[in-house]
Each structure stands twice: as C-alpha cells, then as structure tokens.
C-alpha cells in the first residue's frame, strides 16, 4: 500500500537526525510515525513564523493523525511545543477518519453528479468535531497548469469542521497537488465548504489561501478555482458515499504495530495508520427488480437521499453514479406513511 501519508512518514524517517533524537526520541525508536509527528509539529511552527496560512492549516489538520505518535516522555522543550502546535480548537483525544480510495472508486465518484441535500447527509453523521483525510489514487483527478508537461494531480485532501476563525457550520479543506504519477509536491490550495453548499476559494480574512508555489507565473487563479471546485464536490461525494453507500464498500485497513515494521514500511495490505478503504460497488440505490408490474403505492412515502448507477454512454452500456436527493413518492393527496419511532 502506498498512501500519501505513509510516503511522508518514510520521508520524515529519512530526514531523521541527531538533533531530533536528542529532542526526545529514543535512539532505538525508528518508527516513521514518530518522525512524522515531530516533523508535522516543526512544519506548523515554521508556517506560523513565516505567516504561511495554507501550510499552517494543512499541517494542523494532519496533527490529529500524528498526535498519538509523540513520545510519552519527551524532552521538556518538546513537551512545551507539542501543546503549542496542536490545534487548540479540538481535544487532544480527537479521533480522525482516514479514507483510501481504490482507483475504481475514485473513477466512479469523480464522474458522479452532486445535488442539493448532500451536505446534511454526511454532516449529521460526522458530528460537530471531525477531521478527514482522503487518499486519492494517482491520475484520478488531474489538471493542466498551462505549462509544457505541467499537468498536476490531486493526491490528498484534508478537511476539518474546526479551525481558527472558521465560520459556524463551515468546513475547511486543503488539497495537496503533486506532479503526475509522483509524490513530488506541486503546492497546496485550500478553501471552505460553506453551509449553503458552495465552495469558497478563500476564507473570510484572507484574499487567497494557496501555496506560494501556485501563484503566478507558475499557475494562475483560474487553476486554483478549478482545483477547489472539483475537490470540494469530490470531497462531499466521498463523505456521502462512505456514510450512505452499502456496507461492503467499507474495508478496514489495519495499522501495522511498531514491532512489525520492516524498514519503516507497513505489512502487506496494511498502513501506518488505521484507515478505511472505499471500494466501488454495483449495489447502490434502490433496486426495482422482482417487483410485480401491477405493484403500486396506496400512500405517500419519504425516500431518503441515495446514490444510483444511471445508464449512459453508447447503447446505455456504461454506468454513471448520480446522487438522488430525498423526495416523497406515492399518490398525490394521499396519507403519508408514518415513520417508526424508537422510544
């Protein structure tokens, strides 16, 4: 398995040095997650010093994943800095959600259509304090930067319902762009999922929220807007698919214990973090097979929002996932079927 976070953990391990070990890590502790945790704390501190908003928020959203891997009894200087870099908007025992998309799932959702009503479907299930990491397969979401050979891809998306000065009900998210087919960073773009379901390219305090490497002449604002619009829609579809999709689309991915790591790598089919793999499924939406042709409703019913595979393409041989917003069905003017209530 080659998730973006796993790769960065191993990059952090390769950058390990005597200074970091003296700062509180045992000499014999070569778990890349500890190096990743310390490197994340360093990145947040440096971003605050430089005034780099996107980096500070991006690494702050990674901190809930990294926090459990700080040493239990660090050097005093580290013990003082960890609380200073850990976001004060959420408790330290906050448990984030990590999602890995298969190539088939990414293709299914990248071509799906979104509609009104999806926002509440997953917001209610996630609750008020959450952090989500979405690992996007190579070449699933690509963009042309306008430079020769300059296509880039979305490699990871981080999102959180908390954040400094975040308007109530909004969600902040950050997109990691890399060069095509590689883990080489091409910069980051961040924005907001608004309560009204629009995607905002900036927060309410700064004009732009993007990595400096994405500023002209490397790429213009048009690219940032395209990335945000596509990533925002894609993120909403992923979260809705995770909560609303059939049970068989969710496959737990175990985290490899420290003593079973081999060269800093997780076991086969496992990861450095506890994640959930989202698989594609043909069993989405409401199946109408097996119903008698004379079957009809005598009362009105509420139908919850759901995904459906819609026939499309040549001779309707292909399938495109679409989101069907909740609606009522049945004869107009008839009584509404009462819902069962758990007491």
Q: What is the pLDDT of residues 246-289, one digit of tens each?
A: 888 999 999 988 888 887 788 888 899 999 999 988 776 544 44
Confidence at 127, pLDDT banded by 50, 70, 90: confident
User: What pLDDT, on a 0 to 100 scale, did the predictor assign at position 47?
Assistant: 86
Confidence at 77, pLDDT banded by 50, 70, 90: low
**Overall size of the chain counted in residues:** 343
Q: Which spans in 86-136 are helix H? A: 103-110, 118-126
- Are the C-beta atoms of residues 281 and 246 closer than 8 Å to each other? yes
Classify residue 317 as exposed, middle or buried by CB count within 10 Å of its CB (0-12, 13-18, 19+).
exposed
User: What pLDDT, on a 0 to 100 scale, did the predictor assign at position 258?
Assistant: 85
Confidence at 135, pLDDT banded by 50, 70, 90: very high
User: What pLDDT, on a 0 to 100 scale, did the predictor assign at position 115?
Assistant: 65
The whole-model pTM stands at 0.79
20-24, 126-130, 303-307: which has the minimum mean pLDDT?
A: 20-24
Other beta carbons within 10 angstroms of residue 94's beta carbon come to 17
Q: Which of 171, 309, 305 is nearest to 235 (CA)?
A: 171
Question: Who contacts 88 (Cβ-Cβ below 8 Å, separation ≥6)?
Answer: none
Gap between the terminal Cα atoms of the chain: 45
102-106, 179-183, 203-207: which has the minimum mean pLDDT?
A: 203-207
């Amino acid at each position: 398995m080659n998730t973006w976070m796993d790769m960065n953990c191993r990059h952090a391990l390769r950058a390990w040095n005597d200074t970091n070990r003296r700062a509180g890590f045992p000499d014999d502790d070569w778990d890349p997650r500890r190096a990743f945790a310390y490197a994340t704390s360093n990145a947040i501190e440096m971003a605050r010093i430089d005034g780099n908003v996107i980096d500070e928020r991006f690494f702050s959203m990674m901190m809930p994943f990294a926090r459990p891997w700080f040493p239990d009894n660090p050097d005093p200087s580290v013990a003082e800095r960890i609380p200073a870099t850990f976001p004060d908007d959420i408790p330290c025992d906050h448990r984030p959600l990590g999602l890995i998309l298969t190539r088939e799932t990414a293709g299914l959702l990248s071509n799906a259509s979104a509609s009104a009503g999806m926002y509440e479907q997953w917001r209610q299930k996630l609750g008020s304090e959450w952090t989500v990491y979405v690992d996007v397969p190579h070449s699933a979401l690509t963009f042309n930067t306008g430079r020769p050979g300059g296509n880039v891809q979305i490699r990871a998306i981080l999102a959180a319902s908390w954040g400094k000065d975040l308007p109530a009900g909004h969600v902040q998210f950050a997109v990691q762009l890399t060069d095509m087919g590689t883990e080489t960073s091409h910069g980051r773009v961040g924005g907001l999922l608004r309560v009204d379901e629009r995607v905002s390219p900036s927060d309410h305090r700064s004009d732009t929220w993007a990595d400096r490497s994405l500023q002209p002449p490397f790429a213009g604002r048009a690219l940032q807007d395209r990335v945000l619009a596509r990533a925002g829609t894609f993120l909403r579809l992923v979260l809705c698919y995770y909560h609303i999709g059939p049970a068989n689309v969710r496959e737990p991915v175990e985290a490899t214990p420290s003593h079973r790591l081999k060269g800093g790598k997780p076991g086969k089919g496992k990861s450095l973090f506890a994640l959930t793999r989202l698989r594609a499924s043909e069993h989405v939406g409401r199946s109408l097979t097996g119903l008698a042709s004379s079957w009809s409703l005598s009362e009105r019913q509420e139908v919850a929002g759901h995904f459906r595979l819609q026939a499309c393409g040549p001779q309707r041989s292909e399938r495109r996932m679409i989101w069907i917003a909740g609606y009522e069905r049945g004869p107009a003017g008839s009584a509404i079927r009462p819902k069962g209530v758990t007491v």
